[in-house]
């Protein structure tokens, strides 16, 4: 079953081990950098632990897995005019359901003939 929130092929290149800058994450979500900053400050999107300081300011970096979460939040906000916290809660539940389905598949014995 296809997932309602797919990742376009051009975004797949970003899903390596490299982290993304605030600007790269914003561009990938088709949002302004201020959108990312507001969502970080609200606790909806989490940057990686900060260790880079540039000009006295901490430079946020984001794990590539954060891209999927941020895009889901952005899409829920746009499609359903959802509050950022409600969108984040919905994404949390979607991720939990995905984890539970993976665990269930691992526990089920293989079906003969399939």
Helix axes 64-80, 33-41, angle to 10 degrees: 100
More confident residue, 18 or 16: 18
User: So what's the pLDDT on residue 3?
Assistant: 46
Mean pLDDT estimate for the chain? 84
* Residue 6 in tokens: 């797919």
Question: Mean pLDDT across the stretch 44-63?
Answer: 80
Choose the CATH number for 12-107 among 1.10.1660.10, 1.10.10.10, 1.25.40.10, 3.30.479.30: 1.10.1660.10
- What residues does each domain of the chain span? 12-107
41 has a pLDDT exceeding 80: yes
Name the band, by pLDDT with cuts 50, 70 and 90, for residue 56. low
The predicted model scores a pTM of 0.75
pLDDT tens string 58-92:
789 999 889 999 999 999 999 999 999 999 999 99
85 token code pair: 């916290």
Share of the chain above pLDDT 90, in %: 66
Cβ contacts of 25 within 8 Å, gap of 6 or more: 36, 45, 62, 66, 67, 70
Angle at 66 between CA 83 and CA 27, to 5 degrees: 80
């Amino acid at each position: 079953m296809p997932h309602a929130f797919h990742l376009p092929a051009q975004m797949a290149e970003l899903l390596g081990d490299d982290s993304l800058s605030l600007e790269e994450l914003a561009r990938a979500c088709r949002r302004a950098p201020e959108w990312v900053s507001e969502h970080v400050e609200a606790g909806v999107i989490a940057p990686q632990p900060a260790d880079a300081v540039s000009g006295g300011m901490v430079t946020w970096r984001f794990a590539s897995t954060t891209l999927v979460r941020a895009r889901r939040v952005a899409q829920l906000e746009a499609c359903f005019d959802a509050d950022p916290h409600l969108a984040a809660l919905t994404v949390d539940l979607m991720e939990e359901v995905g984890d539970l389905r993976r665990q269930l598949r691992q526990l089920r014995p293989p079906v003969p003939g399939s």
